[in-house]
Structure 1
């Protein structure tokens, strides 16, 4: 009897230990209902509307509406956009993959975005006299004149002409249409001090690409001057009154059927004319003198290689000597 009692007592102790362990295990498991309530009551991370690329976007191509879509992200990248209105039509400077956030630093900015198709931004040297007493400001419209002067006393062949008409000033000295840039190169704040235009030495003009050669030659061999004009004055010289300057490189001949004579191609324009180049002789004499009264013959502005046994004809006629930095260039005049 005593042994049976001891066995029952041991079994009861063992059962108590098992039940105690089970209770401890149950106490370690979270209550699903309590866990769900805690999840509902916990603050959720904020979601941000961000514009991303809906498909691969190539660099240098304007962004189209179908290239973009908006998503909800838990982060808000610096420079991100909330809607597509401020992005469509802009040009990315690097390729963007699918679902890549489109950021402000990915888009082209600065003066390049203010230049019209077919235009180029070109800086020219200026001083107080040639820039209307430093009264030129970014956004103004100016006419560009140049002068060639004889230095040997024969001033009758000196000349001054309008080179460009109604050209927009993109920047003047430290002032620019896209805002003055601080020395560290970061974007300037709206509270930046006004640029000190009295120290300006350059002006950046927006000009057609075919006009760049003429400006470079005129600046290298003469003197450029800006004349300020009223922005509402839209008058410009008649384009067809004077023939265009002949290019240094002559266009190729368009060949028709085998027995047909070769005919010149159309007059080069835009970038083709810029590639053709301009000789100082053409700039000084003018297209009318080089082409002749009829304007039908194209004279090469640069001498071609002489054929075997042929001697180059000696130059004749009046000329203008352009002296710059100790170098003397002689330009023949009609």
Structure 2
């Protein structure tokens, strides 16, 4: 009996060991096949290490080495103006930081358009492109679009003044009080003394600063000294070009030149003087 019991025990242990071996082999094979399938399904994305913000940074804040770190970014969707090396971000050394021009959040790529050159502050000169000049325009609650202007917006500029003196006429033969579009799509770089493009609160500004060419500076200076300038806000996605616009009182009221002449003739006043049988008509200025 003992011999039979021992044989049965050995046979049971052998079968159990074989079952464990088979189960282990099956599981290992399944895991290997699963790993191969996952590897085949995973896209092969090429990445590049670029500098990103390690914390939220605001306009005017210095960007030093503690505010950035390297992080992998997909090469296919790499934005323009990124920094990949420390000598690119801090060419004058880590002790000469850049200044933030646009707010950045955590893990947001640091772009060249969002920071100044090393050692520069976030002043008005950093907003000017090559060949452009800054010019200030006086505004109020009506001419300044009721405080909805922000740095970075684009505006059309209208001039209102009188061109009737000395029988002077414009290109559209308008006389008297005239409103004319003189500049289109002009970029605002500051509202009062604020150049932060991330400002959200409405401000009734007294002046706005625009970025224009030197020839436009002369035109705007002459227009501001000889009349009144008004701004019209252009939509952020609007890429249309405004046509030449000029409106005087006659066009505003729909009065043609011929009707205006007839009205002048009709309003001519005179005095009739009788000398015997003769009547003398003397023209005089019309008064109320």
TM-score (norm 1): 0.35
Quick check: which one's strand share is greater? Answer: 2
Quick check: which one's helix share is greater? Answer: 2
TM-score (norm 2): 0.40
